[in-house]
Structure 1
Amino acid sequence: MQTKQSVYMHGSREHIIKKATALFLQKSFKAVTMKEIVESTGLSKGAFYHYFPSKESLFLEIVETYIRMLNIDFDKFSKNSLYEFYHNYIDSSYKKFMQLKEFLEDTNDEDDLTYITLTFDAINLFPGFKEQVRQLHNRELSAWENVIQLAMERGEIKSSMSAMQIAKLFVYVSDGIGQRLIMQGQIKDLKDELLALWNGLYNDLKV
């Protein structure tokens, strides 16, 4: 059972993460000062440093929260068909990104480019984060490859390309359109734009 103190501590930690992330999304990691972060939270220095002794430790927590909230559980997606799989993927990934924005109380779609900047800052600051991203990417490609291989064996789709090559097409199309729409401040169009492209690719592969 949580005590009032534990609930308060959890709430304060989450409050700090939200406020600090908002600042890091406005500026780069180097440009944000600890003084700015402390002032934005409204907490005393003592209370703040109780949770995070340095800007680096706070940023690492933010990055881990970011990864955790956007992490996709491919095992929950349908394996009945490639068509169902990529529809599950789109619904899940879009929902998770919107939940992240809601958690951060971020309503400005024009500044979504800063999410990419935050990722590059994390890669530069924490060597282990780059490896995390690589592992997530490999796991994503593997999940796509497996479901595509099943689709080929069942006769759902046919292609001279390998399952991995097709997997890369789906994933890299997603990466490309995602970054472009983020840069254009049109992230809310991602679901429809990506679905249209994936439907076109699927129709070319479908037997």
Structure 2
Amino acid sequence: MKDNKEHILKKAFLLFMRKSYKAVTLKDIIHATGLSNGTFYYYFENKEQLFKEVVEQYMFKLTRQTFENSPKDSLYNFIRHALNNFQNIFNTLHRNTESDLNMNFFSFLFEALRYFPELQEELLKIQAQETNAWVKIIGIAKKNGEIRQDIPDDAAAKLFIYASDGNRMDYVLDKDIEALKSRMEILWNELYNILRV
């Protein structure tokens, strides 16, 4: 039974990525899954509920995991962990979309926020979690003598976050996951070297 729900979520995600929330019909979704109407309605009341669960599964759940269980011993190890997690997220999305991620993924995100503004609160929580994780490890790195003391924790955190955000937007254009990871690694390593004692 769980497999049917995951199958519906994956097929719906593919459709929402290729078209849009508005353009995809329940008939499209049911046809793409190859399941019956009854099976669909066993798991989901309507397209809105399905779309929100797709957003949770393929955006929020994956993004939340990026900074969970991150190393607490050094900024250097934290950066390595974050890079690996970003790679894992993109690999998971790539597997589930059966194609390269591109502007459609970002359109999907913006569409989710446009049609369901309440999702913005969850996205803001995830952004706060990311910021807090960076601020915390930067504070630890300062206490351990790993990095300089003269840059405010939140400013240093934002440098890492904004470098990552801008790099992901470049990915929309070049669609190369290896180039994305390489650029992020170079940028974060340079920032790390600037902050080192």
What's the TM-score once normalised by structure 1's chain length?
0.88
Asked if residue 57 in structure 1 is aligned to residue 42 in structure 2, the reply is no
Partner of 2:34: 42
Q: Supply the AA of the counterpart residue of 1:22.
A: L
**Greater Rg by CA:** 1
Partner of 2:86: 93
Partner of 2:174: 184
User: Following the alignment from structure 1 to structure 2, what is the Cα–Cα distance between the partners of residues 140 and 92?
Assistant: 13
Asked if residue 108 in structure 1 is aligned to residue 94 in structure 2, the reply is no
Q: Is the 8 A contact 1:79 1:85 kept in 2?
A: yes
Identity %: 38
Which of 20, 30, 51 is the equivalent residue of 2:22?
30
Q: Supply the AA of the counterpart residue of 1:108.
A: S
The number of equivalent residue pairs is: 196
Which of 105, 122, 135 is the equivalent residue of 1:132?
122
User: Following the alignment from structure 1 to structure 2, what is the Cα–Cα distance between the partners of residues 124 and 51?
Assistant: 24
Q: Supply the AA of the counterpart residue of 2:103.
A: L
Asked if residue 17 in structure 1 is aligned to residue 9 in structure 2, the reply is yes
User: Following the alignment from structure 2 to structure 1, what is the Cα–Cα distance between the partners of residues 15 and 74?
Assistant: 43
CA distance 1:10–1:139, change in 2 (3 Å)? same
Which of 40, 50, 71 is the equivalent residue of 1:78?
71
Q: Extract unaligned runs of 5+ from structure 2.
A: none
User: Following the alignment from structure 1 to structure 2, what is the Cα–Cα distance between the partners of residues 170 and 184?
Assistant: 21
Q: Extract unaligned runs of 5+ from structure 1.
A: 1-8
User: Following the alignment from structure 1 to structure 2, what is the Cα–Cα distance between the partners of residues 32 and 44?
Assistant: 17
User: Following the alignment from structure 1 to structure 2, what is the Cα–Cα distance between the partners of residues 51 and 22?
Assistant: 18
1:69 Cα deviation from its structure 2 partner: 2.7
Which of 135, 146, 157 is the equivalent residue of 1:145?
135
User: Following the alignment from structure 1 to structure 2, what is the Cα–Cα distance between the partners of residues 107 and 20?
Assistant: 13
Asked if residue 172 in structure 1 is aligned to residue 165 in structure 2, the reply is no
Q: CA RMSD in A?
A: 1.6
Q: Supply the AA of the counterpart residue of 2:70.
A: F
Q: Is the 8 A contact 1:141 1:171 kept in 2?
A: yes
Q: Supply the AA of the counterpart residue of 1:120.
A: F
User: Following the alignment from structure 2 to structure 1, what is the Cα–Cα distance between the partners of residues 177 and 118?
Assistant: 28
1:101 Cα deviation from its structure 2 partner: 2.6
1:173 Cα deviation from its structure 2 partner: 0.5
User: Following the alignment from structure 2 to structure 1, what is the Cα–Cα distance between the partners of residues 14 and 93?
Assistant: 12
1:54 Cα deviation from its structure 2 partner: 1.3
1:49 Cα deviation from its structure 2 partner: 2.2
Q: Supply the AA of the counterpart residue of 2:9.
A: I
CA distance 1:122–1:155, change in 2 (3 Å)? same
Q: Is the 8 A contact 2:135 2:154 kept in 1?
A: yes
Q: Is the 8 A contact 2:66 2:86 kept in 1?
A: no
1:73 Cα deviation from its structure 2 partner: 5.5
What's the TM-score once normalised by structure 2's chain length?
0.92
CA distance 1:57–1:116, change in 2 (3 Å)? same
Indicate the SS of the match to 2:15: helix
